[in-house]
Amino acid sequence: MNKNQTPKPFYIKRNLLACLETALFMKQGAERFSVSYIGMKRSFIIPFLVLPISIATMITAHPEGNLSGGVMQALAVMYGLRTVLYLAVFCTIMYFMAKNMNRMSNYCRFITANNWLVIPAAVLMLPLSLAFMGGYYEWAEIYPMMVCFTLYSYAYTAFMAAHVLRIPLELAAFVSICSMAVNQTALDVMKWLGMQGAQLFA
C-alpha cells in the first residue's frame, strides 16, 4: 500500500465524522471529505446502500395499497433508475458549473460529500420509516416530519457546497435547490416512462 494512501477504515471513519460535523453546520466537516477521484467513485456506493429503505417506504406509502409482486418490482426498478438518473444529471451539471467557476480542484470532494451526506438524512428518517412500515403511524402523520428532514438535508448540503466549492452562500443555496429540482424531475421522468411502458404493453 502506498504510504500516502489513506487506509480504508480511516477513510470510512473520517467521512462519517465529516457527515456528522457538516450536518451540525461545522465548517471543518466539509473539509474532511476526500478530494481524490478514487474516493469520489467509492462514495457512489452510499446512495445505493440507502436506496432499499427509501424504496420500501415509498412502496408501503403507495396510494393503491395491496400491490402485486410484479408491480412492486416495477416500482423498485423505477425508483432505482430514478437515483441513477438523478446522480448522472446532477453530477454533470455540477461538473460544468465547477469548470466554469474554476473550481475543478474541489469537484471530486463536492461529489464525495454530496453522496456521503445521504447518511444523516437517512438516519433521521429511518425511525419514521420503520414506524410507518410497522403500522404504528399513518403516512399523513409522518409526512410533515419527512418534509422537514428533507429541507434540513438541503440546508446542510448548501452549507457543504459553500465551504467545499468556496462559493457564496447564495450560490450554494442555488446548488442545493438545483439538486432538489433534478431529483424531483428525475422522479417525474421515470413515472412518465413507466406510464408509457404500461400503455405500450397493455
pLDDT tens-digit profile of 12-60?
889 999 999 999 999 899 889 988 888 899 999 999 999 888 888 877 7
In the chain, pLDDT over 90 holds for what percent of residues? 50
Burial class (CB in 10 A: 0-12, 13-18, 19+), 68: exposed
Is 23 inside any structural domain? no
Angle at 79 between CA 76 and CA 41, to 5 degrees: 110
Q: What is the per-residue pLDDT for 197?
A: 66
Is 29 inside any structural domain? no
Q: What is the per-residue pLDDT for 1?
A: 43
Is 188 inside any structural domain? yes
Q: Phi and psi (nearest 5°) for 101?
A: -95, 5
Residue 184 has pLDDT above 60, yes or no: yes
Domain count, the chain: 1
| Amino acid present at 156 | Y
The grid coordinates listed for 68 are 402485486
Distance CA 33, CA 79 (A): 27
For 18-49, letters b (16+ CB in 10 Å) and e give bbebbbeebeebbbbbbeeeebbebbeebbee
Distance CA 129, CA 139 (A): 9
Q: Which residues contact 42 (CB under 8 A, 6 or more apart)?
A: 11
- Higher-confidence residue of 134 and 64: namely 134
Nearest to 84 by CA among 196, 198, 193, 197: 193
Is the CB of residue 63 less than 8 Å from the CB of residue 75?
no
**Average pLDDT over the chain, rounded to whole?**
85
Is the CB of residue 180 less than 8 Å from the CB of residue 154?
yes
For 128-140, letters b (16+ CB in 10 Å) and e give bbeebeeeeeeee
Is 38 inside any structural domain? no
Is 77 inside any structural domain? yes
**CA dihedral (57, 81, 165, 171) positive or negative:** negative
Is 32 inside any structural domain? no
Q: What is the per-residue pLDDT for 157?
A: 94
- Higher-confidence residue of 118 and 75: namely 118
Residue 2 has pLDDT above 60, yes or no: no
Is 152 inside any structural domain? yes
Is 1 inside any structural domain? no
Domain that includes residue 174, residue range: 44-201
Residue 61 has pLDDT above 80, yes or no: no
